[in-house]
Structure 1
Amino acid sequence: MQIWRAVRAIPGWVYPLAVGVLLLLLPTLGLGYAMTRQVQLACILALVVSGLSLSLGYAGELALGQAAMYAAGAYTAGLMSEHGHTDLALQLVAAGAVALVVGIVTGIPGLRLGSWSLAMTSFFLVLLVPDIIAVFGETTGGRNGLSGIEPATLFGQVLTPEGFYLVIVLVTVGWFAVTRNLVVSRHGIAFRTLKQSPVLASSLGVSVFRMKVLGYAIGAFPAGLAGALFANLDLYISPEAFGFTFATSVLAACILGGAASVYGAAIGAAIMQFGPNQASDFQEYALVVYGGLLLVGGVLLSGGLARIGKIAVGRLDRAADLRPAAGAPTGDATTTVDVAPIDGRPLTIDGLGKAFGGNQALRGVTLSAQPGQVTALIGPNGSGKTTTLNMVCGFYRPDSGRIHLGDKEIQGSIPYRVARAGVARTFQTPNIPDEVSVLEAVASGRYSTARSSMAATVLRLPGFRRVRAADRAESMRALELVGMAHLAGETASALPLGMRRLLEVARAVVARPQVLLLDEVASGLDEDEVERLADIIRGLRDAGATVVLVEHNFRLVLSLADRIVVLAQGEVIADGAPAEIEHDPRVLGEYLGVTVDDDTALTREVTS
């Protein structure tokens, strides 16, 4: 275990860097031409697979279009070379840009239609690639292929085979560094959140459609780079290299290596290139082999080889006592919670109506929530409480009525715009992305409050560093607020239900929202956690936030609420102070299921 402790003390980036240096030095170690070529092909394949991993493993968009982007990059570089533009740096930029454009143009229709549409449109795109090349045969060489590609140059000098090998390795290592910087940043967490739930992503201020297009388009860029390198490797390209078989091999490598892993793409590509691609007469059985690998990677190896490695590392960490065990939230439940001042805004709902088919979910609901107050929205199951919150957040469009946030009408607004306007919420069922830490899960709540561009993120510019430092500092404050700072490095989705609910509260308040919607947040909490939650809500109220609390715990509602609105069958049946609501005969009958004769006994119970 001492050896393992020493290994884990080494920064994680050292290992991929060492592999990159080893690849660069391979030709000096006497590597033959055949093996050198296989390494080059593996690097090229890893670039294509990396793009698929980004769109599938992180953004959750299944597509086979990387083969088409690969072809676009290869033919762009080949045609540039035929017209005298042999500089490889220029070809790489142009090929990447063309692949990016192809990704955006072909991705938008499928992403707009949603569901499996992107997978189907990209599938048909790959099938059409040979025919598209044949249609423009006079330029592309048609089905006979494009020959006459001149040897690549770099800054005016013709690249030797050794020099071209170094370029391929450097481009591959550079792209994986870019991918790593992206996926471990707030943008990577946004991609994972989108994969988990578009509803959750939009509630955090993420533009779902834009993020989907961005993930698919960025995934197209390395395929373009790979195409340019492939075109200059043999100085000849043909349509058969970019067909359905290649697309399937990319998908198989991605699943086998681990789609949600930066370096899983390299692992999967290496296995494919040095494994089945080496077999004689392989093309005849390629689809069968790739199909088998997809079954193995998708069923028997859920998460790919990268996940197996992560599980093994986790077990060794626990054996070496390197990971703290999850415990209960820290802090005294009776301690007053201090929250920085929040500029709350009034939330006004007037005459809200909504029907789903023949079911009238809401009828003329009116509600007013003020800054510095807790407004409770209670009622029996099916009364329309969550539907009301969903319409405030923009997930449903009201059939009638108005919703104002301050002086601004927000009914019918796109969900991510509502979130950016200052509305945050929790959900009845805690919604936490897989494979993110507690700190990262909370930090995702700040995605729309502070901006850091993709370029700044990839290059680690000062602007990115400032935003990252602010994200971490504010997230730790939010975790301290809910008593979970000691769990910052734990996997968020592995926490018990009560802790995940408190984690959602931390994620909702980290950006200091003007309006906070809490949907049955006390459900599943033990007594100490409920007390902690009550202190947190009081602290948010005293800080100036507008809090709307949907809750079935009537005792908690009475102790927290400044005003209570009661729904039954989609209508407001009572609206007033807690002292009024707890004695209202209709509330007692509709919500608590007791008669007026039981009023005195009930009062003693909820106030004891």
Structure 2
Amino acid sequence: MGLLGRIPGWAVPVAIGVLVLLLPQVIGDFSLIRQVQLGLILALIVSGLNLSLGYAGELAIGQAAMYAAGAYTAGLLSLRGHTEILLHLLIAGAVALVVGTVTGIPGLRLGSWSLAMTSFFLVLLIPDVIAVFREQTGGRNGLSGILPPTLFGRPLTPDDYYLVIVVVTGLWFAVMRNIVVSRHGTALRVLKQSPVLAASMGISVFRMKLLAYALGAIPAGLAGALFANLDLYVSPEAFSFSLATTALAASILGGSASVYGALVGAFIMQFGLNQAGGFERYSLLVTGAFLILGGVALTGGLSSLAHTLWRRIAAPATVPERVERVQAPDMPDLRGEKLKVAGVAKAFGGNQALDTVGLIAEPGQVTALIGPNGSGKTTLLNMICGFYRADAGTITLGAKNLEGRAPHAVARSGVARTFQTPNIPPGITVLDAVMSGRFATHSASVLEAVLRLPRYRRVRRDDFAEARRMLDLVGLRHLEASEAVALPLGQRRLLEVARSLVAGPGLLLLDEVASGLDEDEAAGLADVIRKVRDAGGTVVLVEHNFQLVLSLADHIVVLAQGRVIAEGTPDMIERDPRVMSEYLGTVPDDSASPIVLGDLVDDAVGEE
């Protein structure tokens, strides 16, 4: 690692913050100082948008409405003689949080693009809402007569107020950074990558998206309070649709999945549009140009480009050393639970995917579920996980009835799974990817994460310890600092196994987990599965590698055309004529020598 690589990640933002703080002493240009203040206020709005869009993957432009709510709250407080800026910030942030929560619930409940449309109409309604309450807000003429702000009863000079804006902005970005680099930030990235993956890990998709949207409302409310006390006048024109598009353009240009990208994009838009002030009628055109530039020419925004360049300069590429496989540690004891699927049926339109399927998986055993493509194996796993509702039948885990529960509730009941295609969000390390598997079962609040309270530190410390133990188990410990999504397919599959095991599930569902593994990786995977079984875990293995199934399974269930056609020990299934017919399309002659399915599979593979 080079000299630059030893510089802490927070050092550069802090240094820039100090320079901005001292700017009035260096430059006395009032117009420039005002543009910096407006740029910081816009950055607060954009940071809230980044939380919902860049991290949770939910497009919503309602921050303009929260900005208006904060501004009018501060203005009305001032008109009633309450000029304390800290009081304005506190109440404006709370009001914005309420507005964000109330408007976010219906949009998220309806799903799909509903929140985007809800927030879009919310912005369009701002002038009308202000006009309805014109006796309090001044209507379309604006709210005037706002008194100069005070801090602890002392009037603030323009230079003092500049410091207030810089400090408030800096504190919020410190809060946002703590959220983003915490386990909550990783959970948001998982949610953005795939709501299905998030739900399978016990993350409530609705609650997590609402959390991101509601938290993103707070900085917009703070920005509104700061703006009202800057100009001492609030007008509906300040919260137009143009503001919403400017914030969106700044987010995309700076980098929506970035903490400090909000600052970069906001200052570019603020100073860029100010230069185009003489062409006010073309302001939307200018904003659109920035939006297209950021969306098309800069994938990930300027912050992503800067991050890539920094990594190349600070940590030059090196040739990785070959790492020899070491003896994996033992699996800690697991409290496996009995899975019982009885008479389950599921139809999609006229297609009967499952027809009165039954399966029992015992703790301390590997139960294999095999069958040709389209036989209903993954459909059954999805029903166990709560993604599909059964038309008939029951699914229980221990004493718990899983049928009818939401997917995240099923996961919290002790069900963990892998997917046919490894699903790993970009931008997180191998270690973080495994740690994310503990998010729902070992919780710490957002407030504890922001303030780094002892309970959060304890949970975080346990997250690191358990994640590293699982990486040791699957042989990926030496890659813990690598970007997870950049791993080869085989290692990503092993990573998913580690993520599924880290919370100590009562039931582990493995969906074609050996697909794409080389011989050594498959052997390592088989070792891991045996350790899980020997530790008392309940394992259901869906796999096309028949030799792997025979070597691992204690009990095998065979599906074909949505029905169970055979079940029993590996020896029984290996010689079952119905299974041979489904796999090879032929039935052996009873008078001939006994034929073993595993031998036929080997011969077929050898001929390819």
For this structure pair, what is the TM-score category when the shorter chain's length is used for normalisation? over 0.9
Tell me the equivalent position of 1:588.
580
Contact 2:575 2:596 (8 Å CA) reproduced? no
Structure 2: how far apart are the matches of 1:10 and 1:310? Answer: 14
TM score, norm. by length of structure 1: 0.96
Which one-letter code corresponds to 2:284 in the other structure? L
Segment drifting more, 449-458 vs 423-432:
449-458
1:503 aligns with 2:501: no
User: Shift of residue 268 of structure 1?
Assistant: 0.4
Contact 1:344 1:545 (8 Å CA) reproduced? yes
Which one-letter code corresponds to 2:282 in the other structure? Y
Structure 1: how far apart are the matches of 2:335 and 2:394? Answer: 22
Matched position secondary structure for 2:22: helix
1:266 aligns with 2:263: yes
Tell me the equivalent position of 2:124.
127
Contact 2:201 2:411 (8 Å CA) reproduced? yes
User: Shift of residue 594 of structure 1?
Assistant: 3.8
Which one-letter code corresponds to 1:463 in the other structure? R
Structure 2: how far apart are the matches of 1:607 and 1:340? Answer: 35
Tell me the equivalent position of 1:246.
243
User: Shift of residue 404 of structure 1?
Assistant: 0.7
Contact 1:337 1:535 (8 Å CA) reproduced? no
Structure 2: how far apart are the matches of 1:521 and 1:313? Answer: 36
Tell me the equivalent position of 1:92.
89
Structure 1: how far apart are the matches of 2:234 and 2:279? Answer: 20
Relative to structure 1, the CA distance from residue 132 to residue 603 in structure 2 (aligned partners, 3 Å threshold; closer, same or farther) is closer
Matched ranges for 1:426-575 at <5 A:
426-575=418-567
Tell me the equivalent position of 1:377.
369
Matched ranges for 1:302-313 at <5 A:
302-313=299-310
Structure 1: how far apart are the matches of 2:63 and 2:521? Answer: 48
Contact 2:92 2:225 (8 Å CA) reproduced? yes
1:170 aligns with 2:167: yes
CA displacement 1:477-507 (0-9 Å, x = unmatched) = 1111110001111111111111110110010
Structure 1: how far apart are the matches of 2:600 and 2:322? Answer: 32
1:600 aligns with 2:592: no
Structure 1: how far apart are the matches of 2:244 and 2:388? Answer: 38
Gaps of 5+ in 1: none
1:331 aligns with 2:325: yes
Tell me the equivalent position of 2:188.
191
CA displacement 1:335-354 (0-9 Å, x = unmatched) = 56510100111000000010
Relative to structure 1, the CA distance from residue 320 to residue 526 in structure 2 (aligned partners, 3 Å threshold; closer, same or farther) is closer
Structure 2: how far apart are the matches of 1:337 and 1:596? Answer: 44
Contact 2:329 2:472 (8 Å CA) reproduced? no
Relative to structure 1, the CA distance from residue 153 to residue 409 in structure 2 (aligned partners, 3 Å threshold; closer, same or farther) is same
TM score, norm. by length of structure 2: 0.96
Tell me the equivalent position of 1:236.
233
Structure 2: how far apart are the matches of 1:400 and 1:187? Answer: 37
Relative to structure 1, the CA distance from residue 214 to residue 603 in structure 2 (aligned partners, 3 Å threshold; closer, same or farther) is closer
Which one-letter code corresponds to 1:222 in the other structure? P
Structure 2: how far apart are the matches of 1:532 and 1:31? Answer: 66
Which one-letter code corresponds to 1:600 in the other structure? I
User: Shift of residue 600 of structure 1?
Assistant: 2.0
Tell me the equivalent position of 1:22.
19
User: Shift of residue 279 of structure 1?
Assistant: 2.6
Matched position secondary structure for 2:523: helix
User: Shift of residue 602 of structure 1?
Assistant: 3.9
Residue-pair matches, total: 600
> Identity of aligned pairs, percent?
65
Which one-letter code corresponds to 1:374 in the other structure? V
Tell me the equivalent position of 1:155.
152
Matched position secondary structure for 1:281: helix
Matched position secondary structure for 1:360: strand
1:179 aligns with 2:173: no
Matched position secondary structure for 1:350: strand
Tell me the equivalent position of 2:606.
none
Structure 1: how far apart are the matches of 2:565 and 2:328? Answer: 34
Which one-letter code corresponds to 1:14 in the other structure? A
Structure 2: how far apart are the matches of 1:402 and 1:601? Answer: 35
Contact 2:474 2:528 (8 Å CA) reproduced? yes
Structure 2: how far apart are the matches of 1:187 and 1:400? Answer: 37
Tell me the equivalent position of 1:34.
31
Contact 2:547 2:598 (8 Å CA) reproduced? no
Contact 2:4 2:313 (8 Å CA) reproduced? no
User: Shift of residue 326 of structure 1?
Assistant: 8.7
CA displacement 1:422-446 (0-9 Å, x = unmatched) = 1000000100001111111111000
Gaps of 5+ in 2: 604-608
Structure 1: how far apart are the matches of 2:397 and 2:299? Answer: 45
User: Shift of residue 327 of structure 1?
Assistant: 6.5
Structure 2: how far apart are the matches of 1:326 and 1:142? Answer: 69
Structure 1: how far apart are the matches of 2:176 and 2:209? Answer: 16
CA displacement 1:398-426 (0-9 Å, x = unmatched) = 01000111011111211111111110000
CA displacement 1:354-374 (0-9 Å, x = unmatched) = 011111100100000000000
CA displacement 1:302-361 (0-9 Å, x = unmatched) = 11001111221233355364xx64967x525xx565101001110000000101111110
Structure 2: how far apart are the matches of 1:418 and 1:49? Answer: 36
CA displacement 1:497-535 (0-9 Å, x = unmatched) = 111101100100011111000000000000000000000
Contact 2:108 2:115 (8 Å CA) reproduced? yes
Structure 2: how far apart are the matches of 1:493 and 1:326? Answer: 20
Relative to structure 1, the CA distance from residue 603 to residue 281 in structure 2 (aligned partners, 3 Å threshold; closer, same or farther) is closer
User: Shift of residue 148 of structure 1?
Assistant: 0.5
Structure 1: how far apart are the matches of 2:47 and 2:474? Answer: 38
Structure 1: how far apart are the matches of 2:254 and 2:598? Answer: 61
Out of 2, 5, 8, the residue aligned to residue 8 of structure 1 is: 5
Contact 2:340 2:361 (8 Å CA) reproduced? yes
1:107 aligns with 2:101: no
Tell me the equivalent position of 1:140.
137
CA displacement 1:161-209 (0-9 Å, x = unmatched) = 1111111000000000000000011000000000000000011110110
Contact 1:326 1:487 (8 Å CA) reproduced? no
Matched position secondary structure for 1:596: coil
Matched position secondary structure for 1:398: coil
Relative to structure 1, the CA distance from residue 150 to residue 370 in structure 2 (aligned partners, 3 Å threshold; closer, same or farther) is same
Which one-letter code corresponds to 1:189 in the other structure? T
User: Shift of residue 606 of structure 1?
Assistant: 6.2
Structure 1: how far apart are the matches of 2:600 and 2:440? Answer: 44
1:386 aligns with 2:383: no
Which one-letter code corresponds to 2:528 in the other structure? I
Which one-letter code corresponds to 2:249 in the other structure? A
Contact 2:179 2:446 (8 Å CA) reproduced? yes
1:62 aligns with 2:40: no
Tell me the equivalent position of 1:315.
312
Relative to structure 1, the CA distance from residue 601 to residue 581 in structure 2 (aligned partners, 3 Å threshold; closer, same or farther) is closer
CA displacement 1:543-579 (0-9 Å, x = unmatched) = 0000000000000000000000000000001111111
